[in-house]
Amino acid sequence: MLREPETRDRAAFIELLASPDVHTYLGGPRPRDELEREMPEAPERWPGSFVVELDGAMIGRILLRRATEHHRPAAAGKVDLGYLFLPRAWGFGYAAEACAAALDWLEGVLPGEPVVLATQTANVGSMRLAAKLGFTEVERFRAWDADQWLGLRPPVLPSA
Ligand SMILES: CC(C)(COP(=O)(O)OP(=O)(O)OC[C@H]1O[C@@H](n2cnc3c(N)ncnc32)[C@H](O)[C@@H]1OP(=O)(O)O)[C@@H](O)C(=O)NCCC(=O)NCCS
C-alpha cells in the first residue's frame, strides 16, 4: 500500500537512512545517532512522497520529485523517481509493484508526464527494476566517483 508518511514511521525512516546495505550505491548511510537527534517527530508530507506499507509496517519509500536542478541537463525539470526499501523486503517484487502503482498515480495527476531515474550501473537490482518499469537508457555518466545511468520513461500514450 502507498500512503503518506506518518509520525509512527520514524523508527523505520531511521532504519532506512542508517542502513549500510540500503546505501551501498547511494553514497553511504547517515549516522544513526545523528538521525535520532535531528529527524523531526512529524515527517514532511508532499505530493509524490510515499511510504510503502506491508501488513501494517513501513517497508520502504518512493519519491517522485521534479528535478529543477539535475546533474544531467536531459533530466532537468523532469519528474525523477527514487526508491528505497528495507533489506528484509528485497527480492519479493514489492519495489516493482509499489513503483508501478506510484507511476500510475502520477499518470492520474499529471497525464503524459515523462519520468527520469538515475542509478549507479553497479546497482544491479535498481537497474533491473528500472528496466522492468519501462525506463530506457538516455545516457551513462560519471559522478560521485561511480558510473551512473540515466533512464527515461516516456509518457504513456492514451489508448485509441
Ligand atoms: C533496488 C531495490 C529497490 C530493489 O527492491 P526489490 O524489492 O528487491 O525489487 P523487486 O523484488 O521488485 O525486483 C525488481 C527486479 O529487480 C531484480 N532484482 C532486485 N534485486 C536484485 C539484485 N540484487 N540483483 C539482481 N536482480 C535484482 C528482481 O529480480 C526483479 O527482476 P525480475 O522480476 O526480472 O526478476 C532495493 O534493493 C533497494 O531498496 N535498494 C537500496 C536502495 C537503492 O539502491 N535504491 C536505488 C536508488 S537509485
- What is the bridge-based pairing of β-strands 146-153 and 57-66? unpaired
Give the mean pLDDT of the chain.
Answer: 95
Ligand 1 atom nearest to 60, measured from its CA: 39
Cα 60 to Cα 26, 31, 52, 134, 140, distances in angstroms: 15, 19, 5, 21, 27
Task: Quote the ligand 1 centre to 43 CA distance (angstroms).
Answer: 26
- The pTM score is 0.95
C-alpha cell at 64: 517522485
Measuring from atom 48 of ligand 1, which residue has the nearest CA?
119
Q: What pLDDT does residue 40 have?
A: 92
The residues that bridge with 48 in the sheet, in sequence order, are: none
Among 13, 64, 129, which is best to mutate for testing ligand 1, by the most ligand atoms less than 8 A from CB?
129
Return the pLDDT at 34. 97
119 - beta bridge partners?
149
What is the CA(160)–ligand 1 centre distance, in A? 33
Cell numbers standing for residue 110: 499529471
Separation of CA 123 and ligand 1 centre (Å)? 9
Tens of pLDDT along 23-36?
Answer: 999 999 999 999 99
Q: Which residues line ligand 1 (CB under 6 A)?
A: 22, 25-26, 82-85, 89-96, 119, 123-126, 128-129, 132
The total number of residues written for the chain in this structure:
160
